[in-house]
Amino acid sequence: MTAGGLTEALAGVSLEVPRGSTVAFVGPSGCGKSTLLKLISGLLNATAGAITVDGQPVDGPLTNVGMAFQNPVLLPWRSVLDNVLLPLEILRENGDPRAPAPDLWRARAVALLATVGLSGAERRQPRELSGGMRQRVSLCRALIHQPALLLLDEPFAALDAFTREEMWELYQRLRAEREFTGVLVTHDLREAIFLADAIYVLASHPGRIAHAHRVALPRPRALAQVYGAEGSELMRRLREQIRPSREPAA
Amino acid sequence: MIGPRSRRVVLPLAVFVGLVLAWEAAVTVLHVQPIVLPPPSGVALTMARTAGPIAFHAWHTLLTTLLGFVAAVGLGLLLGFAIGGSATVNDALYPLLVGFNSIPKAAVVPLLVMWFGIGTAPAVLTAFLLAFFPVAVNVAVGLATLEAELRDVLRSLGASRWQIFRKVGVPRTMPLFFASLKVAVSSAFVGSVISETVASNAGIGYLMAVAASDFNTRLAFGGLAVLGAMGVLLYGIFAVIERRMTAWAYAE
């Protein structure tokens, strides 16, 4: 499925992400997980190898991408609504056909905020929100322009355990409603198991794909499945595979 | 009991009044020569008698300060945007700026007098030279500390450098910019008074130089009191503007 997939080569290893699926990259710090995201989004240019999104080689920043990070980086001088609308402003200024007419923006943002449980928060300021709410706003900003590709760099790492699980369920709902391809970088193995269709274990020095797993759990997934026998077995194997790659290469 | 807001006004005022009263009492009780240290009441009397000239010179100092300040804000903004926006400009200019800023500006006044003669021009220029640095540095810091993630979010939307600058760089720099204004206006004030003291024929600095050469201690203290009041007022005005313009930066 090259038409909808993207191909990533890292230290001689290729992978393909089918359209509409979500893949997760796990691995020790410094194995190049975040660099991988920057390569996919075109923020960094690959020195060797090729990256294609929708069959097109990536040779500059893509614009059909949404990004969210551990730090929600909202603009504190803008309301929640205006934060979410920022991507549309940029696209419209640049004459991008995917930006709808401005009179449709508000309705679209309000509807999106409603799906993440932030109805009525449009006029609030980021500083008034909890960490989980800010991360929801950040997700809305990443999705408002309906990108084909959603890149998430440890998006829920700063949240408490319960809020994080809520966010996993939110992500699952969002991907069922909207068709985006997700690439997730995370340290949280349960997060990877719950969210991803495939998990790649990266090893460092040089950054490379050490192991690949298909997550066969049916969708929609329940948290109990992640904590159940199948999830725990996958978890155990992932841990075993990450441990040796944490040790420096001989 | 008084509230926390009025506390912040009442307490320093009470201390100030107490110090003035102690000064008055000390001068009287210890029989201090008025030419060494006049009592506050005497200073106040002299100020009232020379209110006209004092007002003229204060107005002149204020205009000089504000002219230098406005020019400094303009150049400071430009320099700050250039330094904060470009690593090359930063590497090229920042060390020079720091070096320039470490020159005591009073030492530059004689040169300015050689070029522009005695009067308002050297005072405006000294005010300008002292005031642009804090503005430039704060604006540069505001731009340069833009979060890498935010830059990535915007670039991944196809935003140009100019768009990132406009949509995010400028607004997030504003709290630092407005914070620098109150520092800059105080610096400009220092600059204009220094220059007036050395080489001018108007302004409170000039008034004080004349008072000192006449051994008119009362008038010298009067000038000092006016300078103090003007300094506090200028700082206060820009502190209020800062709070008004960037309320979002003062989260609880």
**Chain A environment of B168 (Cβ under 8 Å):** 75
pLDDT reading at B16 higher than 60 = yes
CB spacing of B157 vs A63 below 8 angstroms: yes
CB spacing of A75 vs B172 below 8 angstroms: yes
**Chain A environment of B160 (Cβ under 8 Å):** 94
Asked whether the beta carbons of A129 and A81 are under 8 A apart, the reply is: no
pLDDT of A3 reads 36
CB spacing of A62 vs B156 below 8 angstroms: yes
pLDDT in tens, chain A (250 residues): 333 455 444 565 577 888 889 999 988 777 777 788 888 888 887 777 777 877 778 877 777 889 999 899 999 999 999 999 999 999 999 888 878 888 889 999 999 999 888 899 999 999 999 988 999 999 999 999 888 899 999 989 888 888 889 889 989 988 888 889 999 999 899 999 999 999 998 887 777 787 888 888 888 888 888 888 888 888 898 888 887 766 655 4
Dihedral sign of CA atoms B87, B91, B93, B95 in order: positive
Q: In angstroms, what separates the C-alpha of A153 from chain B's closest C-alpha? A: 10
Q: Which two tokens stand for residue A105?
A: 């923006």
Report DSSP state, residue A243: H
The runs of H, that is alpha helices, within chain A are 33-41, 80-93, 102-115, 131-143, 161-177, 189-195, 223-227, 229-246
Q: Count CB pairs under 8 A between chains A and B.
A: 71
Nearest CA in chain B to A155: B149
The predicted model gives B99-125 an average pLDDT of: 89
DSSP-assigned beta bridge partners for residue A211? A201
Asked whether the beta carbons of B135 and B180 are under 8 A apart, the reply is: yes
* N- to C-terminal Cα separation, chain A: 38
**Chain B environment of A141 (Cβ under 8 Å):** 153
**The Cα angle at residue A90 between residues A89 and A93, in degrees rounded to 5:** 85
Q: In angstroms, what separates the C-alpha of A21 from chain B's closest C-alpha? A: 20
pLDDT of A246 reads 62
pLDDT of A20 reads 87
Distance between CA atoms of B109 and B123, rounded to whole angstroms? 8
Asked whether the beta carbons of B152 and A43 are under 8 A apart, the reply is: yes
Dihedral sign of CA atoms A10, A205, B153, A184 in order: positive
Distance between CA atoms of A54 and A52, rounded to whole angstroms? 6
Dihedral sign of CA atoms A184, A188, A191, A197 in order: positive
pLDDT of B34 reads 84
pLDDT of A137 reads 94
Which of B145, B151, B152 would best serve as a mutation to test chain A binding (most A beta carbons within 10 A)?
B152
Partner residue opposite A93 with nearest CB, options B152, B163, B249: B163
Distance between CA atoms of A54 and A2, rounded to whole angstroms? 7
At residue A184, what are phi and psi to the nearest 5 degrees? -120, 130
**Contact status of B172 with chain A (Cβ, < 8 Å):** yes
DSSP-assigned beta bridge partners for residue A208? A203
Asked whether the beta carbons of A57 and B148 are under 8 A apart, the reply is: no
Asked whether the beta carbons of A72 and A134 are under 8 A apart, the reply is: yes
Residue with tokens 């196809």: B158
Partner residue opposite A87 with nearest CB, options B150, B157, B171: B157
Beta strand A198-203 with A22-26 is parallel
DSSP-assigned beta bridge partners for residue A185? A25, A153
CB spacing of B248 vs A145 below 8 angstroms: no
Those residues of chain A whose CB sits closer than 8 Å to some CB in chain B are: 38, 41-43, 61-63, 65-67, 69, 71, 73, 75-77, 86-87, 89-91, 93-94, 96, 125, 127, 141-142, 145, 151, 153
Query: 3-class DSSP state for residue A97?
Result: coil
pLDDT of B252 reads 45
Maximal C-alpha separation, chain A: 61
What is the edge-to-edge ordering of all strands in the sheet holding A56-57?
A13-17, A6-10, A52-53, A56-57
Determine how many CB atoms are found less than 10 A away from the CB of residue A195. 26
pLDDT of B177 reads 93
Nearest CA in chain A to B246: A77
Beta strand A149-153 with A198-203 is unpaired
**Contact status of B163 with chain A (Cβ, < 8 Å):** yes
Asked whether the beta carbons of A213 and A198 are under 8 A apart, the reply is: yes
pLDDT of A53 reads 79
**The Cα angle at residue B44 between residues B18 and B183, in degrees rounded to 5:** 70
* Beta carbons within 8 Å of A30's beta carbon, 6+ residues apart: A204
Distance between CA atoms of B132 and B136, rounded to whole angstroms? 6
Beta strand A56-57 with A65-69 is unpaired
Nearest CA in chain B to A146: B157
Among B residues 182-241, those touching chain A with beta carbons less than 8 Å apart: none
Distance between CA atoms of A243 and A223, rounded to whole angstroms? 25
pLDDT of A245 reads 62
CB spacing of B172 vs A67 below 8 angstroms: no
Partner residue opposite A67 with nearest CB, options B153, B168, B174: B153
The runs of H, that is alpha helices, within B86-164 are 87-101, 109-116, 120-144, 148-155, 161-164
SS3 content of chain A, % helix, strand, coil (to 5): 40, 20, 40
Q: In angstroms, what separates the C-alpha of A7 from chain B's closest C-alpha? A: 18
Q: Which residue has the higher pLDDT, A59 or B72?
A: B72
Q: In angstroms, what separates the C-alpha of A249 from chain B's closest C-alpha? A: 30
What's the pTM?
0.80
CB spacing of A65 vs B156 below 8 angstroms: yes
Q: Which two tokens stand for residue A42?
A: 């075109």
pLDDT reading at B23 higher than 90 = yes
**Contact status of B170 with chain A (Cβ, < 8 Å):** no
Which of B151, B152, B154, B157 would best serve as a mutation to test chain A binding (most A beta carbons within 10 A)?
B157
CB spacing of A90 vs B153 below 8 angstroms: no
At residue A160, what are phi and psi to the nearest 5 degrees? -70, 165
At residue B206, what are phi and psi to the nearest 5 degrees? -65, -45
